[in-house]
Amino acid sequence: MAAYWRSMPLKNSELRLDRTLACGQSFRWKETQTGEWTGVLGGLVWTLKQTATELFFRTHPSFSVPSVKQEQAVTPEPLIHKGTLGKNFTKKEAHSSVGCVAEDLCDPVTVKSENADLAVNSSHNEDYEHSLLEDYFQLHVDLGQLYQTWAQADLNFAQTSQKFSGIRILRQDPVECLFSFICSSNNNISRITAMVNKLCSYYGKKIVEVEGIPYFSFPTVSALADDSVERTLRELGFGYRAKFISQTAQYIMTNHSENWLLSLRDMDYDKAKDLLMKLPGVGGKVADCVCLFSLDKTGAIPIDTHVWKIAARDYMPKLRQAKSLTDRLYQEIGDHFRSLWGEYAGWTHSVLFTADLRHFQETNDKGLPAKKEILKRSNKLAVEKDSKCTKKKR
């Protein structure tokens, strides 16, 4: 068992799994044991954990049998193939296209003929797995350095951030990111998570079961563009978002292509945001989430009601008089933060946003949260019922 685990040196201050994976930028990670996080990334199921100086990781072996319905496979299955990956994979490729890296690197024909009896993870994939994590957590970005710079520019950040180190932006698959955040509108985190899981189990492909829990890949755009999707999602309780998801998927397949979203990484922020906002169900806030969490737009700042309150409370007192968050104010708040924090302002915002989440109020930098807090987290009811006492602060 221990043999599956590998590790890389990584300071706690550069990455805190608990804060980074549970602060609402991704809805796909679950704390399966205390301090252990399991989720899907690059077509594989991973479990991660860490100490003060090391990141431990393992993937869960799956026997990927080629799908029976290959005939309609617009996109190849996200299989990781021994021969291809071991030989050709480079760090650079991982960095440029993690969202579809498995697809890029797999010849579907080869996979089909040779993969049936091949365990997905083998020692040949070690470099690949290592690179995938570096890419996903954007480990080339020196977070400690950024924290220092931000602290110099902003006293409020300097104070708050002391107890909230290691919060970084993930580099997610844009497809997963887009459809997840379409689900987020006027909604709460637990329901968003449930909806994302439903998308995966109904329209994704099962990768492997771990401890009795099945894990699925995120569906392709093409799968979500099927005519039946809106009705099905309505029945599954998606409400009006069912239409948004269906229409957005169809819009992308009609006017662009499966991989179009990835190409937005090569555009500047304004252009990418502009194009995203043409999609049904995608306004400024969701577009900024996709820009920041999956398209490398480090200065994108999603301003939701929560961030708006932080801005009014700690940075822009004049906002206290504003009735609602108009487009103009949205732009103004973002610009204010960008000029204060600089190029990585989206990352900065994420630290303050996370620090302000009730969920994290009792954590501290000495280590993992108090035992009391862990118990609470495992029991959502307890957390939510107890919201009375800190309500006013937010």
The residues of the shown chain that bind DNA, judged by CB under 7 A, are: 23-25, 184-191, 234, 237-241, 243, 277, 279-287, 289, 302, 304-306, 323-324, 326-329, 353, 357, 381, 384
How far is residue 72's CA from residue 88's CA, in Å, rounded to a whole number? 28
Residue linked to tokens 């005519």: 227
List of long-range contacts for 305-313, beta carbons under 8 Å, 24+ apart: 306/353, 306/356, 306/394, 307/333, 307/349, 307/353, 308/333, 309/394, 310/352, 310/353, 310/356, 311/336, 311/337
Nearer to DNA, 216 or 353 (CB): 353
Residue 40 phi, psi (nearest 5): -110, 135
**What is the smallest separation between the CB atom of 319 and DNA, expressed in angstroms?**
12
Nearer to DNA, 283 or 317 (CB): 283
- Whether 279 contacts 248, CB under 8 Å: yes
Nearest of 149, 134, 51, 97 to residue 347 by alpha carbon: 149
**What is the smallest separation between the CB atom of 277 and DNA, expressed in angstroms?**
7
Nearer to DNA, 42 or 346 (CB): 346
Nearer to DNA, 243 or 376 (CB): 243
Q: Which is the catalytic residue, given 82, 205, 273, 285?
A: 285
**What is the smallest separation between the CB atom of 66 and DNA, expressed in angstroms?**
36
243 counts as catalytic: no
Nearest of 243, 270, 389 to residue 331 by alpha carbon: 270
**What is the smallest separation between the CB atom of 16 and DNA, expressed in angstroms?**
15
**CB atoms closer than 10 angstroms to residue 83:** 15
Nearer to DNA, 72 or 188 (CB): 188
**What is the smallest separation between the CB atom of 260 and DNA, expressed in angstroms?**
17
Catalytic residues: 285
